[in-house]
Amino acid sequence: MVKAVVGANWGDEGKGKITDMLASNADYIVRFQGGANAGHTIVNEYGKFALHTLPSGVFYNHTTSVIGNGVALNIPLLFKEIQSLVEKGVPMPKILVSDRAQMVMPYHILFDQYEEERLGKKSFGSTKSGIAPFYSDKYAKIGFQVSELFDEEGLKEKVERVVEQKNVMLEHMYHKPLIDAKKLLEALHEYRDMVAPFVADVSTILNNAIKENKTILLEGQLGTLKDTDHGIYPMVTSSSTLAAYGAIGAGIPPYEIKQIITVCKAYSSAVGAGAFVSEIFGDEADELRRRGGDGGEYGATTGRPRRMGWFDCVASKYGCRMQGTTDVAFTVLDVLGYLDEIPICVGYEIDGEVTTDFPVTHLLEKAKPVFEVLPGWKCDIRGIKEYDKLPENCRKYIEFIEEHIGYPITMISNGPGREDIIYR
Protein backbone atom coordinates (compact mmCIF):
# COMPACT_ATOMS: atom_id res chain seq x y z
CA MET A 1 0.00 0.00 0.00
CA VAL A 2 1.37 3.38 -0.98
CA LYS A 3 0.32 6.53 0.90
CA ALA A 4 1.39 10.08 0.19
CA VAL A 5 1.76 12.86 2.75
CA VAL A 6 1.67 16.21 0.99
CA GLY A 7 0.92 19.88 1.71
CA ALA A 8 -2.20 21.82 0.73
CA ASN A 9 -0.71 25.27 1.03
CA TRP A 10 2.65 27.05 0.86
CA GLY A 11 4.60 24.44 2.82
CA ASP A 12 5.38 24.20 6.55
CA GLU A 13 1.98 22.65 7.23
CA GLY A 14 3.47 20.06 9.59
CA LYS A 15 3.99 17.24 7.07
CA GLY A 16 7.11 16.13 8.93
CA LYS A 17 5.16 15.40 12.08
CA ILE A 18 2.39 13.54 10.24
CA THR A 19 4.90 11.45 8.26
CA ASP A 20 6.88 10.70 11.40
CA MET A 21 3.67 9.56 13.06
CA LEU A 22 2.52 7.38 10.14
CA ALA A 23 6.02 5.99 9.76
CA SER A 24 5.46 3.85 12.84
CA ASN A 25 3.51 1.49 10.52
CA ALA A 26 5.54 1.95 7.35
CA ASP A 27 8.37 0.00 5.74
CA TYR A 28 9.70 2.61 3.32
CA ILE A 29 9.60 6.39 3.50
CA VAL A 30 10.43 8.09 0.25
CA ARG A 31 11.35 11.65 -0.62
CA PHE A 32 10.29 12.13 -4.24
CA GLN A 33 10.95 15.80 -5.11
CA GLY A 34 12.66 18.98 -4.01
CA GLY A 35 15.94 19.40 -2.26
CA ALA A 36 17.44 20.73 0.92
CA ASN A 37 15.67 24.07 0.42
CA ALA A 38 12.91 23.31 2.90
CA GLY A 39 12.94 21.47 6.18
CA HIS A 40 10.78 19.31 8.34
CA THR A 41 10.92 19.83 12.05
CA ILE A 42 10.48 16.71 14.13
CA VAL A 43 10.30 16.38 17.87
CA ASN A 44 10.79 12.93 19.38
CA GLU A 45 12.53 11.14 22.23
CA TYR A 46 15.98 11.87 20.76
CA GLY A 47 15.41 15.61 20.64
CA LYS A 48 14.40 18.21 18.08
CA PHE A 49 15.62 17.79 14.51
CA ALA A 50 15.42 19.82 11.33
CA LEU A 51 15.62 17.44 8.38
CA HIS A 52 16.25 18.86 4.93
CA THR A 53 17.17 15.86 2.82
CA LEU A 54 16.42 12.73 4.81
CA PRO A 55 12.82 11.56 4.99
CA SER A 56 11.06 11.86 8.34
CA GLY A 57 11.23 8.12 9.00
CA VAL A 58 14.91 8.03 9.88
CA PHE A 59 14.17 7.79 13.58
CA TYR A 60 12.70 4.32 13.42
CA ASN A 61 14.80 1.21 12.95
CA HIS A 62 12.09 -0.74 11.13
CA THR A 63 11.95 1.71 8.20
CA THR A 64 14.12 2.25 5.16
CA SER A 65 14.60 5.88 4.13
CA VAL A 66 14.68 6.44 0.41
CA ILE A 67 15.89 9.34 -1.70
CA GLY A 68 13.94 8.97 -4.92
CA ASN A 69 15.05 9.91 -8.43
CA GLY A 70 12.94 13.11 -8.33
CA VAL A 71 14.98 14.68 -5.53
CA ALA A 72 17.65 17.37 -5.92
CA LEU A 73 20.33 15.58 -3.95
CA ASN A 74 22.99 17.58 -2.15
CA ILE A 75 25.41 14.81 -1.15
CA PRO A 76 27.56 16.72 1.41
CA LEU A 77 24.39 17.94 3.14
CA LEU A 78 22.95 14.42 3.20
CA PHE A 79 26.10 13.32 4.97
CA LYS A 80 26.04 16.13 7.46
CA GLU A 81 22.45 15.25 8.28
CA ILE A 82 23.22 11.56 8.81
CA GLN A 83 26.16 12.53 11.06
CA SER A 84 24.06 14.92 13.13
CA LEU A 85 21.54 12.14 13.83
CA VAL A 86 24.16 9.62 14.82
CA GLU A 87 25.85 12.21 17.07
CA LYS A 88 22.58 12.68 18.99
CA GLY A 89 22.26 8.93 19.57
CA VAL A 90 19.85 7.99 16.77
CA PRO A 91 20.76 4.51 15.42
CA MET A 92 22.29 4.59 11.93
CA PRO A 93 19.27 4.65 9.58
CA LYS A 94 18.88 2.36 6.57
CA ILE A 95 19.19 4.68 3.58
CA LEU A 96 18.79 4.07 -0.13
CA VAL A 97 19.68 6.66 -2.75
CA SER A 98 18.29 6.22 -6.25
CA ASP A 99 20.96 5.71 -8.89
CA ARG A 100 18.82 8.01 -11.05
CA ALA A 101 18.65 10.88 -8.55
CA GLN A 102 20.51 13.92 -9.79
CA MET A 103 23.03 15.85 -7.75
CA VAL A 104 23.08 19.48 -6.73
CA MET A 105 26.49 20.62 -7.93
CA PRO A 106 28.55 23.22 -6.05
CA TYR A 107 27.99 25.65 -8.94
CA HIS A 108 24.20 25.31 -8.70
CA ILE A 109 24.35 26.91 -5.27
CA LEU A 110 26.58 29.71 -6.57
CA PHE A 111 24.37 30.38 -9.60
CA ASP A 112 21.33 30.56 -7.32
CA GLN A 113 23.06 33.27 -5.24
CA TYR A 114 24.38 35.16 -8.25
CA GLU A 115 21.00 35.21 -9.93
CA GLU A 116 19.17 36.46 -6.83
CA GLU A 117 21.86 39.15 -6.51
CA ARG A 118 21.41 40.12 -10.14
CA LEU A 119 17.62 40.33 -9.77
CA GLY A 120 17.95 42.51 -6.67
CA LYS A 121 14.49 43.74 -5.65
CA LYS A 122 12.87 41.45 -8.23
CA SER A 123 14.37 38.31 -6.68
CA PHE A 124 12.27 35.22 -5.94
CA GLY A 125 13.26 35.01 -2.30
CA SER A 126 15.13 31.80 -3.09
CA THR A 127 16.67 29.90 -0.20
CA LYS A 128 19.80 29.83 -2.40
CA SER A 129 20.14 26.07 -2.13
CA GLY A 130 20.70 25.74 -5.86
CA ILE A 131 17.30 24.22 -6.59
CA ALA A 132 16.23 26.35 -9.56
CA PRO A 133 19.61 26.04 -11.37
CA PHE A 134 19.60 22.32 -10.54
CA TYR A 135 16.20 21.61 -12.13
CA SER A 136 17.00 23.93 -15.06
CA ASP A 137 20.07 21.83 -15.82
CA LYS A 138 18.16 18.56 -15.29
CA TYR A 139 15.65 19.49 -17.97
CA ALA A 140 18.32 21.06 -20.17
CA LYS A 141 19.93 17.60 -20.03
CA ILE A 142 23.21 18.77 -18.52
CA GLY A 143 22.52 17.47 -15.01
CA PHE A 144 24.44 14.65 -13.36
CA GLN A 145 22.76 11.46 -12.16
CA VAL A 146 24.29 9.64 -9.21
CA SER A 147 24.93 6.70 -11.55
CA GLU A 148 27.29 8.85 -13.61
CA LEU A 149 29.72 9.05 -10.67
CA PHE A 150 30.53 5.41 -11.39
CA ASP A 151 31.47 5.95 -15.03
CA GLU A 152 34.80 7.73 -14.70
CA GLU A 153 35.49 8.27 -18.36
CA GLY A 154 32.05 9.61 -19.15
CA LEU A 155 32.11 11.78 -16.04
CA LYS A 156 35.41 13.43 -16.93
CA GLU A 157 34.28 14.24 -20.44
CA LYS A 158 30.95 15.65 -19.26
CA VAL A 159 32.47 17.75 -16.48
CA GLU A 160 34.73 19.44 -19.02
CA ARG A 161 31.87 20.04 -21.42
CA VAL A 162 29.52 21.47 -18.79
CA VAL A 163 32.20 23.62 -17.13
CA GLU A 164 32.98 25.23 -20.47
CA GLN A 165 29.37 26.37 -20.77
CA LYS A 166 29.04 27.45 -17.13
CA ASN A 167 32.22 29.49 -17.35
CA VAL A 168 30.86 31.57 -20.22
CA MET A 169 27.95 32.56 -17.97
CA LEU A 170 30.18 33.18 -14.97
CA GLU A 171 32.55 35.37 -16.94
CA HIS A 172 30.17 37.39 -19.09
CA MET A 173 26.90 37.47 -17.20
CA TYR A 174 27.82 37.36 -13.53
CA HIS A 175 31.49 38.50 -13.57
CA LYS A 176 32.37 35.90 -10.98
CA PRO A 177 35.29 33.46 -10.51
CA LEU A 178 35.39 30.59 -13.01
CA ILE A 179 35.01 26.88 -12.24
CA ASP A 180 38.10 24.68 -12.39
CA ALA A 181 37.13 21.40 -14.08
CA LYS A 182 39.84 19.43 -12.30
CA LYS A 183 38.75 20.61 -8.85
CA LEU A 184 35.13 19.88 -9.70
CA LEU A 185 36.02 16.35 -10.76
CA GLU A 186 37.85 15.86 -7.45
CA ALA A 187 34.77 17.03 -5.55
CA LEU A 188 32.66 14.55 -7.50
CA HIS A 189 35.06 11.75 -6.54
CA GLU A 190 34.45 12.68 -2.92
CA TYR A 191 30.69 12.64 -3.54
CA ARG A 192 31.04 9.18 -5.11
CA ASP A 193 32.83 7.81 -2.05
CA MET A 194 30.27 9.34 0.30
CA VAL A 195 27.20 8.06 -1.53
CA ALA A 196 28.48 4.67 -2.77
CA PRO A 197 27.23 2.56 0.18
CA PHE A 198 23.64 3.76 -0.35
CA VAL A 199 23.17 3.74 -4.12
CA ALA A 200 20.44 1.39 -5.33
CA ASP A 201 17.92 0.74 -8.07
CA VAL A 202 15.17 2.29 -5.96
CA SER A 203 12.35 1.85 -8.44
CA THR A 204 12.86 -1.93 -8.61
CA ILE A 205 13.11 -2.19 -4.83
CA LEU A 206 9.89 -0.22 -4.32
CA ASN A 207 8.01 -2.18 -6.99
CA ASN A 208 9.02 -5.41 -5.27
CA ALA A 209 7.96 -3.96 -1.94
CA ILE A 210 4.51 -3.18 -3.39
CA LYS A 211 4.19 -6.82 -4.52
CA GLU A 212 5.07 -7.94 -1.01
CA ASN A 213 2.32 -5.72 0.44
CA LYS A 214 4.73 -3.46 2.26
CA THR A 215 3.69 0.02 3.30
CA ILE A 216 5.37 2.88 1.47
CA LEU A 217 5.01 6.51 2.49
CA LEU A 218 5.74 9.19 -0.06
CA GLU A 219 6.75 12.39 1.68
CA GLY A 220 6.16 15.63 -0.18
CA GLN A 221 8.02 18.85 0.36
CA LEU A 222 6.35 22.30 0.34
CA GLY A 223 2.70 22.37 -0.80
CA THR A 224 0.32 22.71 -3.75
CA LEU A 225 0.72 26.47 -4.07
CA LYS A 226 4.45 26.03 -4.66
CA ASP A 227 3.96 23.48 -7.44
CA THR A 228 5.67 24.54 -10.64
CA ASP A 229 2.55 24.04 -12.81
CA HIS A 230 -0.38 24.48 -10.46
CA GLY A 231 1.05 26.90 -7.91
CA ILE A 232 1.49 30.68 -7.85
CA TYR A 233 3.88 30.69 -10.81
CA PRO A 234 6.54 32.07 -10.96
CA MET A 235 6.76 32.33 -7.16
CA VAL A 236 6.91 28.56 -6.95
CA THR A 237 9.52 25.92 -6.43
CA SER A 238 11.19 24.20 -9.37
CA SER A 239 9.70 20.73 -8.87
CA SER A 240 6.20 19.34 -8.61
CA THR A 241 4.91 19.22 -5.05
CA LEU A 242 1.86 17.11 -5.96
CA ALA A 243 1.16 13.54 -4.86
CA ALA A 244 0.84 12.56 -8.52
CA TYR A 245 4.50 13.35 -9.00
CA GLY A 246 5.26 10.86 -6.25
CA ALA A 247 4.81 8.11 -8.82
CA ILE A 248 7.44 9.65 -11.08
CA GLY A 249 9.84 10.80 -8.38
CA ALA A 250 9.84 7.35 -6.75
CA GLY A 251 9.47 5.24 -9.90
CA ILE A 252 6.21 3.45 -9.05
CA PRO A 253 2.87 3.04 -10.89
CA PRO A 254 0.52 6.01 -10.28
CA TYR A 255 -2.44 3.72 -9.52
CA GLU A 256 -0.60 2.27 -6.52
CA ILE A 257 -1.00 5.51 -4.52
CA LYS A 258 -4.12 4.60 -2.55
CA GLN A 259 -4.23 7.20 0.17
CA ILE A 260 -3.36 10.88 -0.17
CA ILE A 261 -3.11 12.64 3.15
CA THR A 262 -3.06 16.35 2.57
CA VAL A 263 -1.74 18.36 5.47
CA CYS A 264 -3.49 21.66 6.11
CA LYS A 265 -2.46 24.06 8.85
CA ALA A 266 -5.17 25.68 11.01
CA TYR A 267 -3.91 29.13 9.92
CA SER A 268 -1.70 30.21 7.04
CA SER A 269 2.00 30.89 6.72
CA ALA A 270 4.22 31.36 3.70
CA VAL A 271 7.83 32.04 2.91
CA GLY A 272 9.24 33.82 -0.11
CA ALA A 273 7.58 36.31 -2.38
CA GLY A 274 4.19 36.09 -4.09
CA ALA A 275 0.52 36.88 -3.49
CA PHE A 276 -0.80 35.77 -0.10
CA VAL A 277 -4.40 36.87 0.07
CA SER A 278 -5.24 36.20 3.73
CA GLU A 279 -1.97 37.69 4.98
CA ILE A 280 -1.98 39.69 8.21
CA PHE A 281 0.54 42.23 9.43
CA GLY A 282 1.73 44.14 12.48
CA ASP A 283 1.06 43.02 16.05
CA GLU A 284 -1.63 40.56 14.99
CA ALA A 285 0.87 38.76 12.73
CA ASP A 286 3.71 38.99 15.24
CA GLU A 287 1.66 37.34 17.95
CA LEU A 288 0.56 34.45 15.70
CA ARG A 289 4.14 34.03 14.43
CA ARG A 290 5.52 33.95 17.97
CA ARG A 291 2.94 31.42 19.17
CA GLY A 292 2.85 29.39 15.93
CA GLY A 293 4.30 25.96 15.17
CA ASP A 294 6.55 24.67 17.89
CA GLY A 295 8.59 27.66 19.02
CA GLY A 296 7.45 30.16 16.43
CA GLU A 297 6.97 30.34 12.68
CA TYR A 298 10.53 30.68 11.44
CA GLY A 299 11.98 28.73 8.51
CA ALA A 300 13.50 25.35 9.45
CA THR A 301 16.26 25.81 6.87
CA THR A 302 16.74 29.55 6.77
CA GLY A 303 15.48 30.85 10.12
CA ARG A 304 13.54 33.50 8.17
CA PRO A 305 10.35 34.77 9.83
CA ARG A 306 7.38 33.36 7.92
CA ARG A 307 4.61 35.55 6.55
CA MET A 308 1.40 34.91 8.50
CA GLY A 309 -2.29 34.84 7.63
CA TRP A 310 -5.68 33.46 8.60
CA PHE A 311 -6.89 30.13 7.25
CA ASP A 312 -7.66 30.41 3.54
CA CYS A 313 -10.52 28.17 2.37
CA VAL A 314 -10.10 29.19 -1.28
CA ALA A 315 -6.42 28.26 -1.42
CA SER A 316 -6.92 25.14 0.71
CA LYS A 317 -9.87 23.80 -1.29
CA TYR A 318 -7.78 24.14 -4.43
CA GLY A 319 -4.71 22.81 -2.63
CA CYS A 320 -6.60 19.68 -1.57
CA ARG A 321 -8.16 19.15 -4.99
CA MET A 322 -4.87 19.32 -6.86
CA GLN A 323 -3.36 16.80 -4.49
CA GLY A 324 -6.21 14.31 -5.03
CA THR A 325 -6.88 14.30 -1.30
CA THR A 326 -8.45 11.29 0.39
CA ASP A 327 -7.81 12.57 3.95
CA VAL A 328 -7.02 15.95 5.42
CA ALA A 329 -4.69 16.17 8.41
CA PHE A 330 -5.50 19.46 10.13
CA THR A 331 -2.50 20.65 12.12
CA VAL A 332 -1.31 23.17 14.69
CA LEU A 333 -4.84 23.80 15.88
CA ASP A 334 -3.68 24.17 19.49
CA VAL A 335 -1.92 27.43 18.61
CA LEU A 336 -5.21 29.27 18.00
CA GLY A 337 -6.42 28.80 21.60
CA TYR A 338 -5.48 32.36 22.58
CA LEU A 339 -7.86 34.13 20.19
CA ASP A 340 -11.25 35.64 21.11
CA GLU A 341 -12.33 35.53 17.51
CA ILE A 342 -10.83 33.81 14.48
CA PRO A 343 -11.24 35.19 10.97
CA ILE A 344 -11.39 32.65 8.11
CA CYS A 345 -10.95 33.64 4.49
CA VAL A 346 -13.96 32.17 2.65
CA GLY A 347 -13.72 33.94 -0.70
CA TYR A 348 -11.63 36.21 -2.90
CA GLU A 349 -12.99 39.46 -4.25
CA ILE A 350 -11.52 40.11 -7.67
CA ASP A 351 -12.67 43.13 -9.70
CA GLY A 352 -15.79 43.42 -7.56
CA GLU A 353 -16.79 39.76 -7.82
CA VAL A 354 -16.45 37.15 -5.13
CA THR A 355 -15.14 33.72 -6.04
CA THR A 356 -14.22 30.58 -4.14
CA ASP A 357 -12.11 29.24 -7.02
CA PHE A 358 -8.39 29.80 -6.83
CA PRO A 359 -7.35 32.04 -9.73
CA VAL A 360 -4.26 32.32 -11.96
CA THR A 361 -1.45 34.53 -10.71
CA HIS A 362 -2.28 37.90 -12.24
CA LEU A 363 -5.83 37.74 -10.88
CA LEU A 364 -4.61 36.37 -7.55
CA GLU A 365 -2.54 39.52 -7.16
CA LYS A 366 -5.73 41.60 -7.30
CA ALA A 367 -7.70 39.38 -4.91
CA LYS A 368 -8.93 40.79 -1.61
CA PRO A 369 -9.93 38.39 1.17
CA VAL A 370 -13.54 37.96 2.22
CA PHE A 371 -13.52 36.97 5.88
CA GLU A 372 -16.04 35.31 8.15
CA VAL A 373 -15.33 35.47 11.85
CA LEU A 374 -15.87 32.54 14.21
CA PRO A 375 -15.67 32.68 18.00
CA GLY A 376 -12.51 31.30 19.57
CA TRP A 377 -12.41 28.57 22.25
CA LYS A 378 -10.04 30.35 24.61
CA CYS A 379 -8.33 27.34 26.13
CA ASP A 380 -5.46 24.90 25.65
CA ILE A 381 -6.53 21.83 23.69
CA ARG A 382 -3.21 19.98 23.92
CA GLY A 383 -3.52 16.55 25.47
CA ILE A 384 -7.10 15.98 24.25
CA LYS A 385 -7.33 12.59 22.49
CA GLU A 386 -10.98 12.40 21.41
CA TYR A 387 -12.83 14.61 19.00
CA ASP A 388 -15.89 14.94 21.22
CA LYS A 389 -13.76 16.27 24.07
CA LEU A 390 -12.69 19.31 22.04
CA PRO A 391 -14.47 22.56 23.00
CA GLU A 392 -17.59 23.19 20.96
CA ASN A 393 -16.21 26.32 19.26
CA CYS A 394 -13.12 24.38 18.28
CA ARG A 395 -15.21 21.63 16.65
CA LYS A 396 -17.25 24.33 14.92
CA TYR A 397 -14.05 25.83 13.50
CA ILE A 398 -12.97 22.42 12.16
CA GLU A 399 -16.38 21.59 10.71
CA PHE A 400 -16.75 25.04 9.12
CA ILE A 401 -13.43 24.59 7.33
CA GLU A 402 -14.19 21.01 6.36
CA GLU A 403 -17.40 22.15 4.71
CA HIS A 404 -15.70 24.98 2.83
CA ILE A 405 -12.78 22.93 1.53
CA GLY A 406 -14.92 19.89 0.72
CA TYR A 407 -12.54 17.15 1.90
CA PRO A 408 -12.80 15.07 5.08
CA ILE A 409 -10.64 16.12 8.01
CA THR A 410 -9.80 12.73 9.50
CA MET A 411 -6.83 13.71 11.67
CA ILE A 412 -6.40 16.71 13.94
CA SER A 413 -2.98 17.56 15.30
CA ASN A 414 -3.04 19.41 18.61
CA GLY A 415 0.64 19.52 19.48
CA PRO A 416 4.06 18.88 17.91
CA GLY A 417 4.60 15.42 19.41
CA ARG A 418 3.86 12.07 17.74
CA GLU A 419 1.08 11.31 20.21
CA ASP A 420 -0.64 14.70 19.83
CA ILE A 421 -3.25 13.50 17.35
CA ILE A 422 -7.00 13.06 17.29
CA TYR A 423 -8.45 10.57 14.79
CA ARG A 424 -11.95 11.24 13.63
Active site residues: 12, 40
Q: Which is nearer to ligand GDP, 265 or 317 (CB)?
A: 265
DSSP labels, 326-357: SEEEEE-GGGGGG-SEEEEEEEEEETTEEESS
Q: Which is nearer to ligand GDP, 50 or 210 (CB)?
A: 50
Q: Which is nearer to ligand GDP, 11 or 35 (CB)?
A: 11
Residues contacting residue 187 through CB under 8 Å, at least 6 positions apart: 106
Minimum Å gap between C-beta 331 and ligand GDP is 4
Residues contacting residue 396 through CB under 8 Å, at least 6 positions apart: 374, 375
Minimum Å gap between C-beta 292 and ligand GDP is 7
Minimum Å gap between C-beta 176 and ligand GDP is 32
CA distance 211 to 233: 38
CA distance 25 to 162: 44
Q: Which is nearer to ligand GDP, 166 or 307 (CB)?
A: 307
Rg from Cα positions in the chain: 22
Q: Which of 352, 284, 346 is nearest to 315 (CA)?
A: 346
Q: Please state, in angstroms and as integers, the Cα–Cα distance from residue 215 to each residue in 21, 72, 119, 211, 284, following that order.
A: 14, 24, 45, 10, 43
Minimum Å gap between C-beta 11 and ligand GDP is 6
Phi, psi (deg, nearest 5) at residue 298: -130, 145
Minimum Å gap between C-beta 295 and ligand GDP is 6
Q: Which is nearer to ligand GDP, 16 or 246 (CB)?
A: 16
Minimum Å gap between C-beta 38 and ligand GDP is 6
Q: Which is nearer to ligand GDP, 209 or 271 (CB)?
A: 271
Q: Which is nearer to ligand GDP, 84 or 355 (CB)?
A: 84
Minimum Å gap between C-beta 416 and ligand GDP is 4
Neighbours of 142 (CB within 10 A): 14
Q: Please state, in angstroms and as integers, the Cα–Cα distance from residue 111 to each residue in 19, 51, 134, following that order.
A: 32, 24, 9
Minimum Å gap between C-beta 414 and ligand GDP is 6
Asked if 73 contacts 108 with a C-beta cutoff of 8 angstroms, the reply is no
DSSP labels, 128-165: -SSHHHHHHHHHTT---BGGGGG-HHHHHHHHHHHHHH
Binding site for ligand GDP (CB under 6 A): 7, 11-17, 38, 40-41, 43, 293-294, 300, 331-332, 334-335, 413-416, 420
> Facing residues of 199 across strands?
97
CA distance 275 to 271: 11
Q: Please state, in angstroms and as integers, the Cα–Cα distance from residue 199 to each residue in 4, 75, 147, 262, 412, following that order.
A: 23, 12, 8, 30, 37
At residue 27's C-alpha, the angle toward residues 196 and 205, to 5°, is 50
Q: Which residues of 158-189 are buried (b: 16+ CB within 10 A; e: fewer)?
A: bbeebbeebbeebeeeeebeebebeebbeebe
Number of H helices, E strands in the chain: 12, 21
Q: Which is nearer to ligand GDP, 16 or 143 (CB)?
A: 16
